[in-house]
A and B are shown apart, each in its own frame.
Chain A
């Protein structure tokens, strides 16, 4: 008979404030198989761990039950305690008295106490049936994939490559750079955004250890921690980049003019184009939706003029495979699609109501107006400019509850820029609260107020056109008055949402997203750059709204984590994998159908077909065990016998 020890943790008052932990320990001591039970304030602390280790030795325990918080948080901690005390770490069973009991039943202490005891009884029942398990080891592919080439992806790629590890960087647009290259200046120091980001883009292109795919997307990811096989779709550019010299003859001669999406339709571009002058790579792509040759079969101008013979109208998408050991996701953000949600602001029908990002293009010296702030409708300089905060943020009605974090500051920057370029202009900012949490941010906001920008506390209710003015109906809640301003230009501080396609990418990678669609970090405080899937890390605004300083810090952190992993020769893989009881397997292969990781293969022995689990691919999800009718499929650490014993204990 195994000798079980039960350790009940108070978690300070988190558990101890609701449950009577000493009583739980006394009751647990009477369960069959339990030879020792005790309680302690903080089981995870150093003295708590010592208490367990000593009890193991003193009472010759060979199974340990810890009744505390979530195994997500501390299972590893306690497994290590077992290992240090000379026990196989998989002889540990945890039960969660915090999230599953004290936190949710604080108002019903008696029932909570009874439930807690049930939970412990369950854990003991399972512990009695635990067997020692031994993790496997696999070699690691020492290469890293970075998805997304904004400032986050750029920084992460450079950091990993500088550590001597090969990087594959995949960006879906024709150029690296993300949003940052589109910005004019950056708060709060007002340094030129392109001047600080384009050298980094160039560094990526030159780095011998970075393989860059632009205009490409990750299509499939197979394998797991340490060994992924990634399929990348290189979209057809219709320009052979091995031949193209980037001379620019083609885009000067192309007869097509389409609105330039990067400039928010403030200007046009040809069908064969370089997104912006400092683009990396500095070679063009043909936009197949608008090219006359590709849509109508007549034109061919660029091919005729190209001195390098680089134009190839027959080019097709191509697929490329890359092997990597870790993945950093850095797909950034998009702006909230306010044109679909804000009818009260005109659904985007008024040309002089623009987003903050469009404003960046307006003030940008390399933008469509050469840096002159003018109205898109008539090219006139505005005399009254109104900024509106929190558009698509902090607005449950429009489905976005969270604060986008960057818009208070970028609006302050924009207001300053208007005052700087057009000192006579009147500038009003409608806000609800000002959030200036960063270093030097509050000071910047105060400075902007001193420059004469008028901040009005109130959300704007309606914007409509009257003559050539935009009538903005807002409020000054500090005075308790409605306020109406006739503006020439209105700039909406549009919120941050996950990049288009993030949900799909999450599925491809097997990582999760939060309620707003941003990628979910493993722990909001302690593991902010990891995901729940080992070997996949997060950087930048794809994890949540972020400014550039935070983005870059997180990118470097993700790079450090990836490098830490990739510098190992081998890694342990969890022994909690499925295995087939060959005697029971009928070879129906239902398991193969349901396995999301393609981890089940067929073996034929003596003419009999049976399933076999490839342990290096199995993630221990357990789907197969449910699909297997004869009960041949078992998950180590969650065997059928163990689970039934738990259910029985709970039903007692």
Chain B
């Protein structure tokens, strides 16, 4: 399968390892990714809380570029994914807006391309195809799959059941990693608040880490660069602020899958985590 790859801004910077690991894993699974030429930022939360027009028009350009390529889009970043999907739905719902956007871009939309999150793209391969690549089963390691907000909400753009999502667990099943049942899966990590309302965001991060600790998770798994930044990079700050001592590594879904596929941890970008992932990996086989 061939997909138009939309890394988005985060994967070019703070979430470099998500980009690396996604590309690597995709290659090994026979997913051909062609980066969308000259893609632009989706606008993220800043756009939709400022102007509905920008919130649709920015992702619309990306949709149009992919339409030119004649390929469906893979958007590993959960925020980009949701903005692309939301823009798609708005263009469908509001012909007047569509006209304005087309005017501004000088492009037209047929609405042909589909937008996939990493979860959907991997799940589509099927359990067998994934199992065939697993050479290093992760038995013994317990992880809490964390979906956050944007992959599953609102229901209109959700890639899975909004309340009890299961795609990550399904994708990871062939790796034999123990996926835990927990209550924090779709709670908000406060990514959009980390700059504007720091303390509030730290509270939300703490709640999620707490919930994961409650079920004795060795690690969290995520498919969103913003969640990752909050949960991993900010863990120390949370500990400082609340006097806690969480030390829960956070993997990208692609990284964990890659490890089970026997790929080189360095190539998967495991070295750039704030909380050392090795402590979780040591649980394998325990």
Contact = CB atoms under 8 A, between A and B. Distances in A.
Q: Do chains A and B touch in the complex (CB under 8 A)?
A: yes
Interface of A: 342-344, 346-347, 349, 462, 464-467, 471
Nearest to A344: B163
Given A466-B211, A466-B214, A343 B162 contact: yes
Q: How large is the interface on B (under 10, 10 to 19, 20 to 34, 35 or more residues)?
A: 10 to 19
Given A466-B211, A466-B214, A471 B164 contact: no
Contacts of B181: 465
A471 B183 contact: yes
Contacts, number: 22
A398 to B, nearest CB: 12
A347 B163 CA distance: 9
Contact of B183 (A342, A343, A347, A465): A465
B214 A343 contact: no
Contacts of B211: 466
Given A347-B164, A466-B183, 16 more contacts: A342-B163, A343-B161, A343-B162, A343-B163, A343-B164, A344-B163, A346-B164, A349-B164, A462-B183, A464-B182, A465-B183, A466-B182, A466-B211, A466-B215, A467-B214, A471-B183
A466 B207 CA distance: 13
- Tell me if A's interface is mostly helix, strand, loop or mixed: mixed
Contacts of B161: 343
Contacts of A346: 164
Nearest to B163: A343
Nearest to A350: B181
22 contacts: A342-B163, A343-B161, A343-B162, A343-B163, A343-B164, A344-B163, A346-B164, A347-B163, A347-B164, A349-B164, A462-B183, A464-B182, A464-B183, A465-B181, A465-B183, A466-B182, A466-B183, A466-B211, A466-B214, A466-B215, A467-B214, A471-B183
Main secondary structure on B side of the interface with A: loop
Interface in B160-182: 161-164, 181-182
Nearest to A345: B163
Interface in B166-211: 181-183, 211
Nearest to A473: B183
Ranked 7 nearest A-B pairs via Cβ: A343-B163, A464-B183, A343-B164, A344-B163, A466-B214, A466-B183, A343-B161
Contacts of A347: 163-164
Nearest to B184: A464
Interface in B94-133: none
Contacts of B182: 464, 466
B215 to A, nearest CB: 8
A471 B161 CA distance: 20
Interface string B34-47: 00000000000000
Contacts of A466: 182-183, 211, 214-215
Contacts of A344: 163
B231 to A, nearest CB: 19
B158 to A, nearest CB: 11
Contacts of B214: 466-467
B146 to A, nearest CB: 14
Interface in B21-38: none
Interface string B128-159: 00000000000000000000000000000000
B142 to A, nearest CB: 15
A466 B164 CA distance: 15
A467 B183 CA distance: 10
Interface in B193-238: 211, 214-215
